[in-house]
Structure 1
Amino acid sequence: MKKAELENKIQEATSSLIDMATDICWNKISRNCVYIMSEIDESIGKNFFEQAKIRKKINDKKVPKTLSGIVSELTTIFENLYDINLYIYKSLSNKTIIEIRYFLKTSHTADFYPTIINNEPMLHCKVAVPNYVAKKPNSTEKQKTFDVNWELGGIRHEWNKFIGKLKYHTWKIKYDRKKKMQNKNTG
């Protein structure tokens, strides 16, 4: 992606992101978008859940900007951009806040940096899927729809997490019993 294409590419990726989210989320997602930016920092937090809490605290304090405002910020660091990822941070009835997470070339190891120094930045759009709706690999069952705002927490998310853990523990007990019976029969 060239610097001159940045605004158009982000606008196209935003549209694709909203289309993807609309297909798998039950929310009505507004196309009136504003943006926040975050550098991908792999040093914060020990695990995904801790990182998400820290990121939410930081993002809640940010003032969303228009696309042109965000593009002017990205333009200043364009030569050092390695990867740009668009996520829906929060979807409200009248607007959607898109989080642009970027990874800098200089954040890579010193050994890897020379191989990417002249690469143009990559652009991706992603919808985070909660583990309680994820399909089994190679499953033909239709994925359940979910709240696009699940990463922000809330009672529905906590309930779904609880039910997911309950289902897992029930499955684990049945699986362990089955294994025990198989071992007993072969031993």
Structure 2
Amino acid sequence: MKKAELENKIQDATSSLIDMATDICWNKISRNCVYIMSEIDESIGKNFFELARIRKKSNDKKVPKTLNGIVTELTAIYENLYDINLYIYKSLSNKTIIEIRYFLKTSHTAEFYPTIINNEPMLHCKVARPFYVTESPKSNKAERKFDVNWELGGIRHEWNKFIDKLKYRIWKIKYDRKRKLRNKNVG
């Protein structure tokens, strides 16, 4: 992606992101978008839930900007950009806040940096999926739609987590019983 194409590419990726989210989420997602930016933190030793909590706390303090404002900031660091990822941070009835998470070339190891120094940044759009909607790969069931704002928490998200954990515990008890019976019959 060339520097001159940055605004158009982000605008196209935003449209694709909203289309993807509309297909798999039950929310009505506004196309009136504003943006926030975050550098991807690859801290070792922090788990996913801790990183998500820290990111939410940080993002809630940020003032969303227009596409022009965000492109200006990205242009300033363009030469050092390695990867740009668009996510829906929050979807409200009248606007959608898109989080742009970027990864810098200088964040890579010293050995890898020379191989990417002249690469143009990559652009991706992704919809985060909660663990409780994913079906097994061999399942014929369609995945159920979910709340696009699930990462922000809320009663529905907590309820779905509870139900999924309960289903897992029931499965585990049944599995352990079958294993004990099998071992008893073998021995």
Q: What's the counterpart of residue 133 of structure 1? A: 133
2:157 equivalent to 1:157:
yes
In structure 2, relative to structure 1, the CA distance for the partners of 1:98 and 1:137 (3 Å cut) is: same
Give 2:3's aligned residue.
3
Gaps of 5+ in 2: none
2:90 corresponds to which residue? 90
Instruction: Report the TM-score, using the length of structure 1 for normalisation.
Output: 0.98
Partner amino acid, structure 2, of 1:108: H
Identity across matched positions, percent? 85
Distance in 1 (CA, whole Å) between partners of 2:42 and 2:113 is 16
1:45 Cα deviation from its structure 2 partner: 6.5
SS at match of 1:132: helix
* Structure 1 stretches lacking a partner, 5+ long: none
Instruction: For residue 138 of structure 1, report the CA deviation from its aligned partner.
Output: 2.9
C-alpha distance in 2, partners of 1:6/1:119?
A: 15
- 2:106 aligns with 106
Give the count of matched residue pairs: 187
Q: Distance in 2 between matches of 1:45 and 1:72?
A: 33
Partner of 2:181: 181
**Partner residue of 2:16?**
16
Separation (CA, whole Å) in 2 of partners of 1:92 and 1:44: 33
CA root-mean-square deviation: 1.0
Q: Is the 8 A contact 1:91 1:97 kept in 2?
A: yes
CA–CA separation in structure 1 for the residues paired with 2:24 and 2:134: 11
Indicate the residue corresponding to 1:143 in structure 2: 143
Q: Secondary structure at the match of 2:128?
A: coil
Partner amino acid, structure 1, of 2:111: D
Distance 2:16 2:44 in 1: 29
Provide runs of 4+ in structure 1 moved above 6 Å: none
TM-score (norm: length of structure 2): 0.98
